[in-house]
Amino acid sequence: MLFVICASSGAGKTTIIRELFKRFPAISFSVSATTRNKRPNETDGKDYHFISIEEFNAKKANNEFIETEEVHGNFYGTLKREVEPFLNSKDIMILDVDVKGALNIKDLYKEAVTVFIDVPYEVLVSRLKRRNTETEAEIEKRSSRIKMEAELKHRFDYIVDNSAGIDKAVSETEKIINKYIA
């Protein structure tokens, strides 16, 4: 089973996924490849396979990805070798991808379950501004991406509201996963 969890940045997705792994230790995580730089708290091979743009392009040419996207100027791709063992299997794998990637995966594998973690557009944009780490132009770019993502959320199998506290969103997502556990 592929379980695709998706949200705009700042919507709490990473925290929710971390909590889900505590509750379902047997679930696997699809480690994507990315060209972005590793952050200090990340581990290569666990959070991502951190690779150069040349390696990324070579893998793409070699047909090693099921989907790729450019997000905020970096490339990301879901590797076939990660997900293939979980197709036609009762074992669950969680994928953390952007909205377009999620919808592409759903097109490819109708049986994949897609979940959108929802926080109102205005809340996300005000968080982004308060963070004060991006330039005005960058905030503009990210805001229009959040808008595009919100417009696509109705194509997901489930929408989980994360505006009333993370615990509620985690338990709602947990309930969804439980429906699919044999």
Query: Of the two residues 98 and 118, which places its CB atom closer to ligand 5GP in the complex?
Result: 98
Q: Which residue is nearest to ligand 5GP (CB)?
A: 101
Query: Of the two residues 45 and 90, which places its CB atom closer to ligand 5GP in the complex?
Result: 45
Q: Which residues bind ligand 5GP (CB under 6 A)?
A: 32, 36, 67, 69, 71, 76-78, 96-98, 101
Query: Of the two residues 90 and 119, which places its CB atom closer to ligand 5GP in the complex?
Result: 119
3-state secondary structure the chain: CEEEEEECCCCCHHHHHHHHHHHCCCCEECCEEECCCCCCCCCECCCEEECCHHHHHHHHHCCCEEEEEEECCEEEEEEHHHHHHHCCCCCCEEEECCHHHHHHHHHHCCCCEEEEEECCHHHHHHHHHHHCCCCHHHHHHHHHHHHHHHHHHHHCCEEEECCCCHHHHHHHHHHHHHHHCC
Q: How far is the CB of 78 from ligand 5GP (least distance, A)?
A: 4
Q: How far is the CB of 48 from ligand 5GP (least distance, A)?
A: 7
Query: Of the two residues 40 and 90, which places its CB atom closer to ligand 5GP in the complex?
Result: 40
